Structure 1
Amino acid sequence: MKVEIYSDIACPWCYVGKRRFERALAAFPSAEDVRVTYRPYQLDPSTPAEPSPLRERLAEKFGAANLDGMNARLAEVGTAEGIGFDFTRALSVNTLTAHRVLWLALTEFGAAAQAALKDRLLAAYFAEGENVADHARLTEFAVEAGLNRDRVVAFLASDEGTDEVRREIAEAQEMGVTAVPTFVFEGKWAVQGAQEASTFLQVLEQVREQIREPSGGSAATAPAADDDACADGSCAV
């Protein structure tokens, strides 16, 4: 079974969704047959390459009055998933370069290395106040995930992977992806948002049955996200 997860490093619900999906996969009897890959998406491609406090940028976008409630809700959900969100330290920065390194991880080092790097980048962004666009820090994160240091240094010194990542983002938009995380199963069925692990497990079981006895139909219906918001479950463009 092929599962493609469209997400952005700057999306807190993508972090929650990753943890919940991994818990579902751990409970799925046919987990060894599931191939998971992470696909790029940028909620805001216009985000500057120079970092700034995430809290300030979110206040501009959603309004300061709404921000504390949103962050408190995420902190509560994160704690339940073993995630220590720290929005006072988090830095807003363009994620294109980080997506390029994730592309490199998958292309040359495999899905396991990509998943490890994805987790490392999400933790760096949301829990550690790291600049995930900084080449030196990206190199360290990549090495921690199992990538070769010399290869990563050379890669970041070039434009390699830029066109490929932008093409994948454009393809996601053409598919109708407007909020992340979006989980696409077998290229046919989409589930949007950081669903509960039990829901992901149910979807995995449904897709498995569809593969065994293909008869059309949908494995799941993607819930709608609020426009221009990080509501419960997903972040919309």
Structure 2
Amino acid sequence: MKVEIWSDVACPWCYIGKRRIETALDQFEQRDQVEIIWRSYQLDPQAPRVSDKTVNAILAQKYGMSEQQAADANQRVSSLAAAEGLEYHMEHARYGNSFDAHRLIHLAATHHLQSEMEERFFKAYFTEGLALGETETLVKLATGIGLDEDEVRGVLASDTYASEVRADIQRARMFGIQGVPFFAIDEKYGVSGAQPAEVLKEVLERAWSSSSKSH
């Protein structure tokens, strides 16, 4: 069974969604039959590589609210993240463009380290306040999970995997995906948003039983 997850490393709900699907999979009897594939998505493709604007300021601007309202909204998300064992420091998050990070997630996939790379980028952004648009930061994070430094630098210095990232985003449009995280199971079942683990587990079970019936 194939589970594709569209996600952006700068999306607070996506990190929560990652934990919840992991919890669902831990309780799913056919866990070893499930292949997880991370798909790229960008919430803000126009974002500068690195910005000095705070995440609160960006959110306020995007939704036409005050910075205090944005801070409150981020605080609510942080509380939900904490319930999943995640530690968010949104006030330190460094807003920027996630395109290069997505290219490295595609590179990591060729070394069977895709989930590890996704996890490392989430933690760097939401917990450690690192800027994912900075080349040296990306190199450090990618080599930290075991990728080769020369290979990582080679990807970042070129446009390798750019077409793969764009293809993921294009496919999301084709599926009518409007927001992330989005879970697609065997291209038949779609779950939008960071749904509770029990909801995700239920969909996994439904997908599994319908695929075993059709074989």
Q: TM-score, normalised by structure 1?
A: 0.86
Whichever residue aligns with residue 142 of structure 1, its letter is A
The aligned residue for residue 7 of structure 1 is 7
Whichever residue aligns with residue 146 of structure 2, its letter is G
Whichever residue aligns with residue 75 of structure 2, its letter is A
The aligned residue for residue 76 of structure 2 is 73
Is the Cα–Cα contact under 8 Å of residues 189 and 203 in structure 2 kept in the other structure?
no
Find out whether 1:94 has 2:75 as its counterpart: no
CA RMSD of aligned residues (A): 1.3
Q: Please give the residue correspondences for 1:216-231 in structure 2 after superposition, counting only pairs within 5 Å.
A: none
The aligned residue for residue 144 of structure 1 is 144
Higher helix fraction (1 or 2): 2
SS in 2 for 1:159: coil
SS in 2 for 1:124: helix
Superposition deviation, residue 146 in structure 1: 2.3
Superposition deviation, residue 68 in structure 1: 3.0
Instruction: Provide the rounded CA distance (Å) in 2 between the counterparts of 1:28 and 1:189.
Output: 16
Instruction: Provide the rounded CA distance (Å) in 1 between the counterparts of 2:42 and 2:35.
Output: 23
SS in 2 for 1:179: coil
Superposition deviation, residue 196 in structure 1: 0.8
Whichever residue aligns with residue 208 of structure 1, its letter is W
Q: Please give the residue correspondences for 1:38-187 in structure 2 after superposition, counting only pairs within 5 Å.
A: 38-52=38-52, 53-62=54-63, 63-64=65-66, 65-106=68-109, 108-110=110-112, 113-187=113-187
Whichever residue aligns with residue 56 of structure 2, its letter is R
Superposition deviation, residue 27 in structure 1: 1.2
Whichever residue aligns with residue 109 of structure 1, its letter is H
Superposition deviation, residue 20 in structure 1: 0.6
Q: TM-score, normalised by structure 2?
A: 0.94
Instruction: Provide the rounded CA distance (Å) in 2 between the counterparts of 1:125 and 1:165.
Output: 19
Gaps of 5+ in 2: none
Instruction: Provide the rounded CA distance (Å) in 1 between the counterparts of 2:116 and 2:25.
Output: 15
Q: Please give the residue correspondences for 1:206-221 in structure 2 after superposition, counting only pairs within 5 Å.
A: 206-214=206-214
- Identical counterparts, % of pairs: 37
Deviations 1:145-169 (A, max 9, x none): 2212221111111111112211221
Is the Cα–Cα contact under 8 Å of residues 7 and 41 in structure 2 kept in the other structure?
yes
**Count of aligned pairs between the two proteins:** 212
Instruction: Provide the rounded CA distance (Å) in 1 between the counterparts of 2:195 and 2:47.
Output: 27
